Structure 1
Amino acid sequence: MTNNLQHLTQLLDRAFKDKPNNQALVGLDNVINYNQLYDNSICLANYLSANIGKGTVAIMVPNLLAFPVSLFGVWYADRTATLINPLYTSDEVLKQCLDAQVTTIIIAKVFYKTLLPMLQKTQIKHVIIVEVGDLQPTIKRHIVNLITCFKRKIFLIKKHSGINYIALNKVLKNHSNHLENKVLENEVALLQYTGGTSGVLKAATLTHENILANIHQLEQWLPKDINENSSILTALPLYHIFALTINCLLFIHIKGNSILVLNPREIKQLIEPLKKYNIGVITGVNTLFGVLVRHKDFKKLNWSKLKVAISGGMPLDKKVSDLWQSVVGKPIVQGYGLTECSPVVSAESYETSEYTGSVGKPLIGTTIKTFDQSLNELQANDIGEIGIKGPQVMGSYWHREDLNKEVFTKDGFFLSGDMGYLDEHGRVFIVDRVKDMIIVSGFNVYPCDVEQVLNQHPDVEESACVGIDH
């Protein structure tokens, strides 16, 4: 149970205390257990506590073993983290670092060239360099790092004066694994950025309490036979709140094992762990599941241990779901979430027997309503803007009082910007984004509806519908 926890570090405390030798993570085929995850996180926390002042710590790292170590290190040091997409441009990184008031960044060496042009325009005073081979056995670490540097043509890190540089590997070697900072007072765990459909940079202020509440809700939803012996395939990036909460934090809570996929665009990296490990849970988006079902080896894989496949982030195409079910024997279940909600607010039952098009019922402790443009509550089956209230919902956007007034109703419902409805059974159906709705001859047309119909044609793999003024 998580409802008696106050801080996300307590998830790892418990896993370390109860099951220190359980597999926690697999990255590049190397396993680290909860003892190692805890020890390395504490080493980093002690370095941060001793060497950096207050301020947000940015993490710009792909799905490597160093990612969870970095995140828990930041939290054990009682700092707030902000997660940066490693594929961002220099301008995008600059905007996020300035807005979040970043003073320290933990960054993968292969992406340092993105940071370099704008580093002196930020408040950053400390740079911690992560290499792809970090947390691998010594010989393998050197080989992986050498190959990576050769392929990426990265040989020297250009350094700016006035900024402290250190390698993560050096930090982990030279600092104690006994926690020196034992007072955790900072309530904000993450400044999680989202552009939404508006493209406006804004950060959801997610507290430890918000995220722990969502983990507790998901624990109630999860199949009971998903436990400390279970593995989850982590192909989605951990810097995204969907994978972070479910694949990383929820699985640490149940003391399970997360198989990290560094680059799912390389289909081999996606298929190999499915062959090698008994995967109990898969999270993904429609695109990822579409790639899997169309791969030549899909039907050869052993799916006997799979308990549930969860789709989120975008509508699930019925054709993809049907192909999946024809081989695996059970459908992909859909969930619905938003960055501002830590992120999950509803999910279909894992016992669902067929594609329904629904994103399920609200999670425990969550209330979902639909509203018209005047913020009047609508009845069942009436389409309106989806509003959400629950313990996982953020309290505010970071330093955006203008937006905070717009996105919450007087009763405290967060307005999602998504159009949808609840049926008479309380199941949620997403129709489209508010701003994507197209007016045709006075009628509301939702692009998702058009796309779903088009995608049923056997010669159509994917489609997109847009409105054009004339």
Structure 2
Amino acid sequence: MERIWLKQYPAGVPADIDVNQYPSLVELLEESFKKFADRKSFICMDKSITYRDLDEMSAAMGAYLQSKGLKKGARVAIMMPNVLQNPVASAAILRAGFTVVNVNPLYTPRELEHQLKDSGAEAILLLENFATTLEKVLPHTSVKHVIIGSMGDLLGFKGVIVNFVVRNVKKMVPAYSIPSAVSFNDALAAGRKLKLAKPTLTGDDVAFLQYTGGTTGVSKGATLLHRNILANVLQNDAWLQPALKKPPHVDQLFIVCALPLYHIFALTACFLLAVRAGGVNLLIPNPRDMAGFVKELSKYQVNSFPAVNTLYNGLLNTPGFDKLDFSKLKSCFGGGMAVQKPVADRWTQVTGVALSEGYGLSETSPTLTCNPADTDKFSGSIGIPVPSTWLSIRDDDGNEVPLGEPGEICAKGPQVMAGYWNRPEETAKVMTADGYFRTGDIGIMSPDGYTKIVDRKKDMILVSGFNVY
């Protein structure tokens, strides 16, 4: 199909990205570590780390993991909320030549066991708050190396107070016993005495196993290659530019990262996009504490705020949010679930910035479509395909339907996964003969290339995180 949507692209957004710009994510990370060494990279609970810090700590942790005899491509899990250790762990695993398996810290033992066994993870980095869950399933998995961090690890002296409060006042760390575990800071210290061996990676090596929400039964690992994630980082970067060019000028891109980093949306649109741009992420460990969240936001002038409908709505209903300074806010990408028009309208009224709704899945790294980043109105659609992306609306027999007719949204592009981890039959079900990924969502494309989602092909509703068929 002809890319009819290209006519709708804002000035300066390319039709295609250069998918060969970096051999792997490691080159992107290390280029930014050097180029932006003195800039802040992450802020959490008033403590910031620079790109130099991130470089040094991830090299040390990567060297430590290598010293445990893990082979290239070994799966290493991360089970943490948005704390400074999370990006350090992620960068370490990638730089060491391993594959990141992101785990939701709120998983039940059964869910955790499934993911660790399915991925074949050999090591895990987690916070002590969730160690009791791991303890229950550890003997049934192939995990041999456990690194346990605490909330305050990288917060300096303040960390001592934070850890005391978390453990003794809020009682957020249930008792656990994992005798073989090593503390995060001890692993860092040991790694500092070692040298990281740079692995030979290509775009075809596996960077992340991103487990799907299990919307169709058992959770499956979307196999995301270095080139898949790289492509989506560059696609998001190109898409954001028109918004960033709007006055006033910004010296360093400031992103609010309230979406959990174990989710593909935050991984690409917050963490890696900021690294590519030399930006800084404000990590919010617990966005459910809305009053605390607003207090954090009051300290900074933010530029980009990717989130989901419930988060935008929650903030709008939190006292003090409407008094914040939004003069430097340039772009708000809504994804993860449908953004509701009343929420979008109120958001624009309060912040002066329209919500750009986007669409994607774990299987697509995630972004497939988005409304223009510099839009001044909420469209109610999922927007148009991002650069280098093709969308095709098809019937049950795989034929393209006419514009304006409903059909399954199918997508092709460099961000589409290699398949489901060790599940060739499942992969075959979602890939078409001509290389399109079948999303399972029903949409209608208008003559200008904008698409609206009208239904899920697979009948399923979510009840507070649980699937009901």
Q: TM-score, normalised by structure 2?
A: 0.90
> Aligned match of 2:64 in 44, 47, 51?
47
User: Which residue of structure 2 aligns with residue 34 of structure 1?
Assistant: 51
| Residues 1:300 and 2:360 are matched in the alignment | no
Q: d(CA) in 2 for partners of 1:278 and 1:427?
A: 32
Determine which structure has greater relative contact order: mean sequence separation of CA pairs < 8 Å that are 6+ residues apart, divided by chain length.
2
- Name structure 1 gaps, 5 residues minimum: 438-446, 449-461
**AA matched with 1:208:** H
Match of 1:458 in 2: none
Which amino acid is 2:200 matched to? L
Residues 1:94 and 2:110 are matched in the alignment: no
SS state of the match for residue 145, structure 1?
helix
What residue in structure 1 maps to residue 364 of structure 2?
A: 341
Within a 5 Å distance, the mapping from 1:120-131 to structure 2 comes to: 120-131=139-150
Q: Does 1:140 align with 2:158?
A: yes
Cα pair distance change 1:296/1:142, threshold 3 Å: closer
- Residue number in structure 1 paired with 2:265: 242
Q: Within 2, Cα distance between the matches of 1:192 and 1:8? A: 16
SS in 2 for 1:283: coil
Q: Which residue in the other structure is 1:432 paired with?
A: 455
Question: Deviations for 1:105-125, whole angstroms, at most 9, x for unmatched residues?
Answer: 111101001111111111111
Alignment of 1:314 with 2:337, yes or no, is yes
Q: Call closer, same or farther: CA 1:121–1:319 in 2, change over 3 Å.
A: same
**Amino acid of the structure 2 residue aligned with 1:214:** N
Using the TM superposition, give the Cα deviation of residue 179 of structure 1 relative to its aligned residue in structure 2, in angstroms: 4.5
Q: State yes or no: 1:350 paired with 2:366.
A: no
Distance 1:294 1:204, change over 3 A: same
Per-residue Cα deviation, 1:399-436 (whole angstroms, up to 9, x for no partner): 11111111011101000000101100011211121123
Task: Provide Cα deviations, 1:325-372, integer angstroms capped at 9, x if missing partner.
Answer: 112223111000110000001110022222211111101000001111
Deviation (angstroms), 1:156: 5.9
Conserved 8 A contact 1:57-1:104: yes
Q: Is the 8 A contact 1:357 1:429 kept in 2?
A: yes
- Indicate the residue corresponding to 1:185 in structure 2: 201
Contact 1:324/1:332 (<8 A) preserved: yes
Q: Which amino acid aligns with 1:141?
A: G
Identical residues among aligned pairs (%)? 38
Contact 1:214 1:342 in 2 (8 A): yes
Distance in 2, matches of 1:467 and 1:69, equals: 36
Q: Which runs of 4+ in 1 moved over 6 A?
A: none
Alignment match of 1:423 (pick from 446, 460, 468): 446
TM-score, length basis structure 1:
0.89
Select the residue among 342, 367, 376 that pairs with 2:399. Answer: 376
Worse-matched range after superposition: 177-186 or 112-121: 177-186
Are residues 410 and 229 of structure 1, via their aligned partners in 2, closer, same or farther at CA, if it must alter by over 3 Å?
same
Query: In the alignment, what sits opposite 2:231?
Result: 213
1:467 deviates by 12
Following TM superposition, by how much is the alpha carbon of 1:155 offset from its aligned partner in structure 2, in angstroms?
7.9
Aligned to 1:60: 79
Structure 1 residue 270: Cα displacement: 1.7
- Offset at residue 203 of structure 1 (A): 0.6
For the 8 Å contact 2:29–2:275, the answer to whether it is kept is yes
Structure 1 position 180, deviation (Å): 2.8
Question: What is the SS of the residue equivalent to 2:329?
Answer: coil
Distance across 2 between alignment mates of 1:402 and 1:153: 41
CA contact (8 A) 1:39 1:177 kept: no
Read off the aligned partner of 1:60 and give its amino acid letter.
M
Counterpart of 2:187 (choices 171, 175, 192) is 171
User: 2:80 & 2:214 partners in 1: Cα distance?
Assistant: 22
Which runs of no fewer than 5 residues in structure 2 stay unpaired? 1-17
Residue type at the aligned position of 1:14: E
1:148-167 residue pairs with structure 2 within 5 A?
Answer: 148-150=166-168, 151-152=170-171, 154=173, 157-160=176-179, 164-167=180-183
Contact 1:192/1:203 (8 A) holds in 2: yes
CA contact (8 A) 1:60 1:84 kept: yes
**Equivalent residue of 1:102, what SS?**
coil
CA displacement at 1:183 relative to structure 2:
2.2
> Is 1:280–1:307's contact at 8 Å kept on the other side of the alignment?
yes
The answer to whether residue 289 in structure 2 is matched with residue 273 in structure 1 is no
1:194 equivalent to 2:212? Answer yes
Indicate conservation of the 8 Å contact 1:311/1:332, yes or no. Answer: yes
Query: For 1:421 and 1:289, how far apart are their aligned partners in 2?
Result: 26
RMSD: 2.2
